[in-house]
Structure 1
Amino acid sequence: MGNAELVAMMLADGRLPTGGHTQSGGLEPAVRAGLGADGKQLADVAAYARDRLRTTTRVEAAVAVLTRHIATSSHLSGTKLSPGDENVPKNGPRLSERAATLGPVEAAWAARTPSHVVRGVSRRQGRLLLRLARRVWPDVSAYLPNDGEIARPVVLGVVGAVTGLSAEQVARTIAYDDAQTVISASLKLLPVDPADAATWLAGLHDDIEWLVKDVAPLTRIDEIPADGAPLIDVFAHNHAIERMRLFHA
């Protein structure tokens, strides 16, 4: 299982082979739409990342926290697969039962993510994370099918449950990863001084901690926030049909 703090650091590492290098957190289409145009007002990158933390990222962090809570409760109640049951067919009754308990969380996430483009991006990322997690933390297979496109926060919540991450660590991982994805992408999209980029990320720490305190206590699906960012959705749809792009999303 390993040390939970080190697991959280590993999950937040952009070099983890889950396709994170292909993501800009929507910054690329935002730049194309005028953010930081002509190298001016580059600090708008930090404002954009902060807006994500307060809207779409807050939703994803809450979903990951709820997933972790449900998976942990399932484990404590004895419904988790026992050692040696990994050979049970992935569609077997016990796995189906646990998948059913997580289904409503994914449905709640989908209802709060109106853009099919954004949902598709998250599920592709979730598939890559699940592929990696099955190798590194095989216990995730007791909660999720071995193949399939599942929302990334759901997969990360399960990883958090099987590796002993706290709700705060799960929420912080989601929040930090989103912020650093945006800030890192700015280095490739705009004339940004790397020291300035690091300063912007450090300046988001209070916003990240506010998000953590806000969502970490959640234990019911109806408590998942429904914050939205329609312009980010518009950017995502425009980017999906862009013929020349540096990042996938």
Structure 2
Amino acid sequence: MTELPYPLPSTAVAMLLADARLPSGGHAHSAGLEPALRAGMAVADVPAYLLSRARSTGLVEAGTAVVARHVALTDPAGLPAVVQAWAARTPSNVLRGASRQLGRGYLRLAQQLWASSQVLTTVRSWPDPAPRAVVLGVIAAEAGMDPRDLVRLVIYDETASAAAALLKLEPRDPAEVTGWVLHVCAVVDAVVDELALLVEPAAIPADGAPQAEEWAHAHALLTQRLFRA
């Protein structure tokens, strides 16, 4: 694939990134759901899990992406500070590693679509892969995506990834699971405008999920698993 000779509408970019069929690594990640189920969480608790994740680590990811978008547009040299702020809010090395793996896949795709982007080239040259949220923020900047749409994209992507994983781990009625995703997106939409205004790394939400981190670390030690995280 070479760089497109015409602008790609930001809505098309959002649809592309939110599509579970995009082979960028999302198929190998369950947004923490497999670790939770393996640890004994009941399937009946999945709707609450999805909402709790969106209200905690989901806000961190969305806030990071919004700030990364702003910095990429105004002062790309400040992107490492965004990564540092994200890392400080993601204490689990397992979760950081999973995010960087996803970021690597998204970055490879982005460089195919915007081959002349200096910001993407610089990010790809970093010693450590950029985390998913930062890469999504840079992509949003390149695509001209509205920050509110970016917040919704991040929340939907996380929630839909977990929902898709559930259908493989504990098959359910897809219509029921889709309803859970829509409910989470509707609830979180109440804070979209607030998150979309973030411009400083220090302003990124710092909501944590210690139990999910513990599950992720235990999951990383398993030799038989369907998803990496």
How high is the TM-score relative to the length of structure 2? 0.91
Residue matched to 1:118: 95
Which one of 136, 143, 156 corresponds to residue 156 of structure 1? 136
- Structure 1: gaps spanning 5 or more residues: 37-41, 75-97
Give the Cα–Cα distance (whole angstroms) in 2 for the partners of residues 207 and 140 of structure 1: 35
Residue matched to 1:221: 201
Range with bigger deviation, 144-153 or 173-182? 144-153
Counterpart contact for 1:26–1:232, Cα < 8 Å:
yes
5 Å-filtered alignment, 1:91-170, equals: 98=76, 100-143=77-120, 144-147=122-125, 148-170=128-150
Deviation at 1:43, TM superposition (A): 3.9
> CA 1:242/1:211 → structure 2, altered by over 3 Å: closer, same or farther?
farther
Residue matched to 1:23: 29
Residue matched to 2:226: 246
User: SS of the counterpart of 2:87?
Assistant: helix
> CA 1:141/1:16 → structure 2, altered by over 3 Å: closer, same or farther?
farther
Deviation at 1:205, TM superposition (A): 2.4
Residue matched to 2:49: 48
User: SS of the counterpart of 1:138?
Assistant: coil
> CA 1:230/1:139 → structure 2, altered by over 3 Å: closer, same or farther?
farther
Q: What letter is aligned with 1:145?
A: V
> CA 1:220/1:235 → structure 2, altered by over 3 Å: closer, same or farther?
same
The answer to whether structure 1 residue 64 and structure 2 residue 65 are counterparts is yes
Deviations 1:108-134 (A, max 9, x none): 000010001100110111111111110
Counterpart contact for 1:133–1:140, Cα < 8 Å:
no
Give the Cα–Cα distance (whole angstroms) in 2 for the partners of residues 146 and 190 of structure 1: 37
Identity %: 45
Counterpart contact for 1:63–1:224, Cα < 8 Å:
yes
Which one of 165, 175, 187 corresponds to residue 207 of structure 1? 187
Give the Cα–Cα distance (whole angstroms) in 1 for the partners of residues 190 and 154 of structure 2: 13
User: SS of the counterpart of 1:197?
Assistant: helix
Deviation at 1:141, TM superposition (A): 4.0
Deviation at 1:138, TM superposition (A): 2.1
> CA 1:188/1:122 → structure 2, altered by over 3 Å: closer, same or farther?
same
The answer to whether structure 1 residue 12 and structure 2 residue 18 are counterparts is yes
How high is the TM-score relative to the length of structure 1? 0.84
Point out the structure with max Rg over C-alpha.
1
| Cα RMSD for the two superposed structures | 1.4
Deviations 1:29-63 (A, max 9, x none): 11111222xxxxx3421111111111111001001
Counterpart contact for 2:63–2:205, Cα < 8 Å:
yes
Q: What letter is aligned with 1:125?
A: L
